[in-house]
Amino acid sequence: MKSSTITAISHALPATSLTQAELEARFGAKELGAIVRMSGIRNRRVVAPGQTAADLAFAAAERLLDSRGIDRSGIDLLLFVSQTPDYRAPATACVLHGRLGLSERCACMDINQACCAFLHGLAVAHSMLVAGTARRALVLTADAVTTLIHPRDRSLVPLHGDGATAALLDAADTAAGGIGPIELCTDGSKFDKLIVPAGGARRPSSPETRVETADAGGCVHTPEHLFMDGPAVFHFCVYKVTAFLKEFLARNGLTVADFDTILLHQANKTMLDLVYQAIGARPEQRFYYLEEIGNCSCAALPVALAQAWREGVVKPGSRTLLCGFGGGLSWGAAVIRWPQDANAAVPGIVDVGVVSRAIGG
């Protein structure tokens, strides 16, 4: 029987840092201290002016393809998974296709998703590889979520950073390992708990949508910036996701003990600790990669996976449980049984200074 597996993965981070000292000057040391204790985040990598999520994805993909000597003509599926595309049209995947010099016989599409984005990209690529409609897939997961956040929004700025990954997927024999099972879930009735209310077709930009307001906590935002209902999202992540993970494992005849590593969306350390504790994950099964880079939104989970490979936490022959959750509201999980000959790690890029290729001024 056919499956698919990740045969290489690389991640890219912007060179620019937004340090704790800078945010203390902006928001105050006392306020930032409380956020650090809750989030575990002390530094963030953020895109520079003129730099986009696609630039980060391009850098990650170039590093992966060049370091492995991948034949670009053999890639026949390119997915760009992000909520910060370069243009409203065309799909950013098409733009990246041209920049990467891929074959014309390559399907390209964008998937607009938030913190569960990587699992959606995996599910689509895996399904097409198993069905035989693609032979080799390149899944680029990237976000420049800091461009959606008001610079004086104290509730969001200290938590978020930007990043990207490139993952190469190939068909595999299920006997050797691979991806699956995968489950994806959505509660669209709560779409407004994480949202940029204005700037799209439903509520176009206008002078009114650019008016700044401050909430009771002193956080400044406009309808054209990201809004998060913090208590609702926290409750969702801790309770809904925990219950889902337990049900997911039971439905598939698995237990927490079956996994060498359990990787969760890198939202904040308090939230991760609560989920890990609730499902009974042992300390050696847990992995964190957010202290120096922040919550990279849709790229957070695959960036953590790439880093876990670099550190030797994820190894050939091991089994990994991935879980993503966030805007939509959406959540999901996937199991990866790494083949014994797996060698997915590619050295990460931490100094990306690519300037976007703007068209039309």
Q: Which residues are catalytic?
A: 115, 265, 295
Considering Cα of 253, then 257, then 258, then 260, what sign does the dihedral take? Answer: positive
The rounded distance, in Å, linking the Cα atoms of 172 and 343 is 14
For residue 300, the surrounding DSSP H or E stretch is helix 300-310
Give the three-state DSSP class for 182. Answer: strand
Half-sphere exposure of 267 (CA within 13 A, CB side): 26
Which has the closest alpha carbon to 142: 98, 78, 226, 73? 78
356: tokens are: 């976007």
Rounded distance between C-alpha atoms, residue 51 and residue 183, angstroms: 33
CB-based burial label for 7 (10 Å; 0-12, 13-18, 19+): buried
Tell me how far apart the alpha carbons of residues 324 and 240 are, in angstroms, rounded to a whole number.
Answer: 12
Find out whether 262 and 186 touch, Cβ atoms under 8 Å.
no
Among 112, 108, 86, 83, CA closest to 97: 108
DSSP state of 160: B
- The number of residues in the chain equals 361
Return d(Cα 53, Cα 59) in angstroms, integer. Answer: 10
Neighbouring CB atoms inside 10 A of 277's CB total 12
C-beta of residue 323 within 8 angstroms of C-beta of residue 263:
yes
